[in-house]
Amino acid sequence: MARVVLDSSAWIYLERVQGPLPGFTENDQPIMAPAALAELLVAGQLSTRSVAARNATLKFVKDAMQIAQFLPIDELTSEIFADLKAFSREQGRPRGVNDLWIAATAIRADAELLTLDKGAYFEDLPRLILRR
């Protein structure tokens, strides 16, 4: 069974499309990164969508947490994040803070990162195994 960290775009796809996630198989173990969880919770609380849609998002998050392994941020994850942040600055290619936390979670877990977000620029992050 492959361990796969799903970035926020993948979780949002699952919620909205409610169909198979491209690149994810039944043999994969989904992992929820803290930054992805936070982004989903914010969407459920602050979205401009209807109350019913926001509540559906919060229910989806609750259900997702039942099937996904949640990996909290620990000291090693923080060190990996710092390395990724420094690398991004050195390369002159800034990335979103949450994207870097999600990437750090995947590296820490020795897992692949599945993303549908082409604008996150995960491709050249060192040690990150990307699945699209």
| pLDDT tens digits, 72-105 | 999 999 999 999 999 999 999 989 999 999 999 9
The CATH code of the domain that includes 14 is 3.40.50.1010
Mean predicted confidence (pLDDT) in 56-79: 95
User: Considering only 7-11, 45-49, 109-113, 118-122, which range has the smallest mean pLDDT?
Assistant: 45-49
Number of domains present in the structure of the chain: 1
Q: How far apart are CA 122 and CA 101, in angstroms?
A: 11
Phi, psi for 23 (deg, rounded to 5): 90, -5
Domain span at 120? 2-131
Phi, psi for 20 (deg, rounded to 5): -60, 140
End-to-end alpha-carbon separation of the chain, Å?
18
Q: How far apart are CA 116 and CA 30, in angstroms?
A: 15
Q: pLDDT tens digits, residue range 13-54?
A: 999 898 899 999 999 999 999 999 999 999 888 778 888 888
Q: How far apart are CA 60 and CA 84, in angstroms?
A: 30
